[in-house]
Structure 1
Amino acid sequence: MTTVTVGALLRTWRERRGFSQLELAGRADSSSRHISFVETGRSRPSEEMVLRLADRLDVPVRDRNALLLAAGYAPRYAHTPLDDPSMTVLREGLERLLTGYEPYPALVVDAAYNVVAANRGIMMLMDGMPEHLLAGPLNAMRLTLHPEGLAPRIRNLREWRGHLLAQMERQIALARSEPLRALYEEVAAYPLPPASEQPGDSEPDEAVPYIALPLRIEHDGHLLSFVSSISTFNTPMDVTVAELAIETLLPADPATVKYLRSLAP
């Protein structure tokens, strides 16, 4: 059985980030000689140095534990299930945030885009979706891009699909997650309807300039426009928390605001 050394792991992360040993040394207040010794196994880095290098290399929290273990240290970051009693305050805070954002759509996903929580705005957009897609665990990418999901309702599907796939590609390059790669390969293989069969996207109102690529989606005969914002937690100390992302869909035009407010209880 081959044991992967901390030096080999750090070298892999450094090469993924495109840093030379000299550049990494400068970022970590070290020397290229020391970085070289660590990578070749001639020097064992301190726990502090492992964490500093992981920070400068933007190593995901989950993988920082692997670096510490490979260097002979205990993992620093817990991996607490979201339904654990110690996560009660976090869960309640997320629920308040999502509820407070209504009637606009918002949801929380994990690192593989599995839906952890969602508000009534999201459930409204999912009206009429087939049961086999709603059988848990729900996955945001699958629900959005599946040909029986939201995809047929999205007026600018090719643009929005390209945006989502590029987003996943960046995350795969950062974290090298096999579950995420498998999801990417699945959703990227979903067939697109021929251009002639896709609903035409009407020209946006010139008086409403979009600040970002909008999601333009039909609901009950109305064309809604949203721009997406994604938030994560600063300096997370738990793997679960580090991998959560809160996505809010901000109405991109007055018509969308008016329609969603008309649906609010």
Structure 2
Amino acid sequence: MRPDPPGGCRRSSSRKGPLSITSEVIAEDSRGDGDTAMTRARQSAGDLLRQWRQQRRFSQLALALDAGISQRHLSFLESGRSAPSRAMLLRLADHLDMPLEARNALLLAAGFAPIFPQHDLADAELTAAREIIDRILAGHAPHPALAVDRHWTLLSANAAIEVLTAGVAEHLLVGEVNVLRLGLHPEGLAPRIVNFAEWRRHLLRRLARDVALSADPALAALLKELDSYPAPIAVDMSPNPEPPETVVAVPLIITSPHGPLTFLSTTTVFGTATDVTLAGIAIESFFPANGQTADAMATLAGSVEDAPSGPRE
């Protein structure tokens, strides 16, 4: 697999080969799980309100006080004895911090039209967002950066992602590439992660938070799958103490021909998104945590620039 031009983002017109999902071919991947939304839409609005209230660990009284309505009113809404207005549903959904897709399902269950669009990232309506993603990825070179959807499926990445995918089994890089699966799978990045136990704990906790916030069965299934993976050979998985207070962030430390590379990661989201697809996209950027890593990444970027150009394999 040949490297991309430095600073560039992966582009392909086919999803057959490794890492072929880019902002130009996201059409097949960014719609989300329609089956989940349809299942929830078949439930009553009251059932959905009760489920999300319980998911958020609210009592009826606490949610009613939060939303400025009586507990009796909320009880009638959940039991179906009162028909909610669209404004009331949106108010309660806001206080429950429901994802946009779940809010659409709640409106549908009550007989209202959904108000939050769900465009494909390749659609004209999201052109500006797509260009922003590409600029962020390209601008982060020579360090790795990638964009994922709400299920952690890879959408696009810059050329520096090669440092994280080197040595990964081909089957993990073909078709829909799940970044968390790639990172924790025994045939993925896992054997190269120096602090695997610490990084694994960090990723699983983060995914567990995603499951709690979204109540997404696909994420719950992914969490169960990742938790079942065996540790790479020679990795000490004995219980470790929590990181000391002097540690400000969990690093990703990997082996490489240039020595150990240490990264700190940040997450960028569209904070004002009103589109279901856009609200689920996150950009993960990896920054060098020390001078050795920064120098190694600069060296790798220089070798890509000096490499002869040719057709992609």
Q: Same fold (TM over 0.5)?
A: yes
Partner residue in 1 for 2:72: 33
Aligned length: 254
Q: 1:185-219 CA distances to partner (integer Å, 9 max, x unpaired)?
A: 2222211135xx138xxxxxxxxx64211111112
User: Which structure 1 residue ranges, 4+ long, deviate > 3 Å from structure 2?
Assistant: none
Q: 1:94 is matched with which residue: 133, 145, 159?
A: 133
Partner of 2:202: 163
**After the TM superposition, which residues 197-216 of structure 1 pair with which residues of structure 2 at under 5 Å, given as runs?**
197-198=234-235, 210-216=247-253
Residue 295 of structure 2 corresponds to: 258
For 1:3 and 1:231, the matched residues in 2 are separated by 34
Indicate conservation of the 8 Å contact 2:55/2:215, yes or no: no
Q: Does 1:84 align with 2:123?
A: yes
CA separation of 1:3/1:125 partners in 2, compared to 1, >3 Å: closer, same or farther?
Answer: closer
Structure 2 equivalent of residue 237 of structure 1:
274
- Which is further off, 123-132 or 7-16? 123-132
1:124 equivalent in alignment to 2:163? yes
Instruction: Give, as a single letter, the amino acid of the residue that structure 2 aligns with 1:89.
Output: A
Aligned CA-pair RMSD: 1.9
Q: Which amino acid aligns with 2:175?
A: G
Report the alpha carbon displacement of residue 115 of structure 1 after superposing the two structures with TM: 0.3
Per-residue CA shift, 1:206-249, capped at 9, x if unaligned? xxx64211111112241111122112222321110111111111
> Aligned residue for 1:111?
150
Q: Which amino acid aligns with 1:90?
A: A
Alignment of 1:116-155 (within 5 A): 116-155=155-194
Counterpart AA for 1:27: D
Which residue number in structure 2 is paired with residue 189 of structure 1? 228
Give the corresponding residue for 1:47.
86
Q: 1:226 aligned to 2:245?
A: no
Aligned residue for 2:286, secondary structure, equals strand
- Once residues 212 and 247 of structure 2 are traced to their aligned partners in structure 1, the CA distance between those partners, rounded to angstroms, is 29
Work out the CA distance in 1 between the residues paired with 2:215 and 2:109. Answer: 18
Q: 1:73 aligns with which of 98, 102, 112?
A: 112
Task: Give a deviation string over 1:33-81, Cα, whole Å, max 9, x none.
Answer: 2111111112112111111111110111111111001111100111111
CA distance in 2, matches of 1:245, 1:159: 22
- Secondary structure class of the residue paired with 2:285: strand
Q: Amino acid of the residue matched to residue 179 of structure 2?
A: A
- For normalisation by structure 1, the TM-score amounts to 0.90
Question: Greater relative contact order: 1 or 2 (C-alpha under 8 angstroms, separation 6 or more)?
Answer: 2
Q: Answer whether contact 2:258 2:296 (CA < 8 A) is retained.
A: no
TM-score of the pair, normalised by structure 2:
0.77
Corresponding residue for residue 54 of structure 2: 15
Which amino acid counterpart does residue 116 of structure 1 have in structure 2? L
